[in-house]
Amino acid sequence: MVEVRRALAEDELKDVYKVRREVFILEQGVPEEIEIDNKENEAIHFVVYREGLPVGAGRLRTEETTAKAERVCILKEARRKGLGSLLMKKMEESAKAEGLTKFRLNAQLHAEPFYIETGYKTVSEQFYDADILHVTMEKDL
């Protein structure tokens, strides 16, 4: 059983940070002070549960009429099972419900094909963030 939900309760937020720590800090080597930043409190956090265990996370912020997906991740052992698509769909639905018309994200270069498959277009040149190559991508909602 898979469930994607807004992380509202304290234990759900702990699960969000547990997944993000595993993927970004431990797996990818992103420094904690970059991964956990001063924008955490202005974001809506999402968590993906599979069989009751946290396996994915993401956060959503608003910039005028644009939703910005950030910190989107799935644990290594849970990847390529459609969970990332479910997470993005839930985040997009949340943004639409808020009246936002565009969705933007900075994708790690290896994830660009995944986002293209889900309807995003690359709108920037490659750039480094936390020493990892990224591109900015957008989708109309």
**DSSP codes joined into one string, 36-104:** S-TTGGGSEEEEEEETTEEEEEEEEEEETTEEEEEEEEE-GGGTTSSHHHHHHHHHHHHHHHTT--EEE
Which residues of the chain register pLDDT less than 70? none
d(CA 20, CA 57): 7
The confidence score (pLDDT) of residue 104 equals 97
Those residues with Cβ within 8 angstroms of residue 45's Cβ, 6 or more apart along the chain or in another chain: 6, 7, 12, 13, 16, 57, 58, 59, 60
The neighbour count for residue 53, using CB atoms within 10 Å, is 11
Q: What angle do CA 135, 121, 117 make, to 5 degrees?
A: 105
One-letter amino acid identity for 26? L
What pLDDT score does 27 carry? 96
pTM, full prediction: 0.94
Q: 58-84 as b/e, with b when 16 or more CB fall inside 10 Å?
A: bbbbeeeeebbbbbbbbbeebeeeebb
Distance between CA atoms of 65 and 50, rounded to whole angstroms?
A: 32
Domain limits, the chain: 2-102
Return d(Cα 26, Cα 76) in angstroms, integer.
11
Q: Tell me, what's the pLDDT at 71?
A: 97
Q: Among 3.60.21.10, 3.30.70.20, 3.40.630.30, 2.40.50.140, what is the CATH number of 2-102?
A: 3.40.630.30
Amino acid 64: pLDDT: 86
